[in-house]
Amino acid sequence: MPLINRVKELRARHQLTQGDLAEKVGVTRQTIISLEKGSYTPSLMLAMHIARVFEEPVESIFTIEEERK
Amino acid sequence: MKHVVVQSISSIILYVLMAFLFSSFLSDMSKTVSESDRFFVEFNLLPLLLLVVFGIVWTVYSFNTRPNKQLSFAQWSVRMTEFSEVDEREQIITAKATKAAYVSFGISVPILMGSFIFYPLFEETLPAYPIYALASTLIIATLVYMTTWIRGYRH
Per-residue pLDDT of chain B (155 residues; tens, 9 = 90+): 788 888 889 999 999 999 999 998 888 777 666 666 677 777 788 889 999 999 999 888 888 887 777 778 888 777 777 777 778 998 899 999 999 999 999 999 999 999 999 999 988 888 889 999 999 999 999 999 999 999 988 87
Domain hosting B6: range is: 2-154
Short-list B47, B51, B5, B15, CA closest to B28: B47
* Alpha-helix residue ranges (DSSP H) falling in B78-128: 88-115, 119-122
Residues of B whose CB is below 8 A from A27: 86-89
Give long-range contacts, CB 8 A cutoff, 24+ apart: B105-113. B105/B137, B105/B141, B108/B136, B108/B137, B108/B140, B108/B141, B109/B137, B112/B136, B112/B137
Task: State the DSSP code for B125.
Answer: T
Checking if the pLDDT of A4 tops 80, the result is yes
Predicted confidence at residue A69, as pLDDT, reads: 54
Global model pTM greater than 0.90: no
Contact by Cβ (8 Å): A27, B89: yes
Where does A3-68 sit in CATH, by number?
Answer: 1.10.260.40
Predicted confidence at residue B32, as pLDDT, reads: 64
Pairwise CB contact (< 8 Å): B89 & A26:
no
How many structural domains comprise chain B?
1
Contacts of A53 (CB under 8 A, 6+ apart): A14, A16, A21, A24, A25
Average model confidence (pLDDT) for chain A? 89
Contacts of A65 (CB under 8 A, 6+ apart): A1, A2, A3, A4
Contact by Cβ (8 Å): B147, B5: no
Q: B154 and chain A: CB distance < 8 Å anywhere? A: no
Short-list B117, B103, B100, B112, CA closest to B137: B112
Contacts of B89 (CB under 8 A, 6+ apart): A27, A28, A30, A31, A34, A40
Predicted confidence at residue A65, as pLDDT, reads: 78
Largest CA distance in chain B: 67
**Local structure of B112: helix, strand or coil:** helix
**Dihedral through CA A23, CA A29, CA A33, CA A38, nearest 10?**
-60
Predicted confidence at residue B81, as pLDDT, reads: 73
Predicted confidence at residue B33, as pLDDT, reads: 63
Predicted confidence at residue B134, as pLDDT, reads: 94
Residues of A whose CB is below 8 A from B88: 27, 31, 42-43, 45-46
Residues in A 7-66 with any Cβ partner in B closer than 8 A: 26-28, 30-31, 34, 39-40, 42-43, 45-46
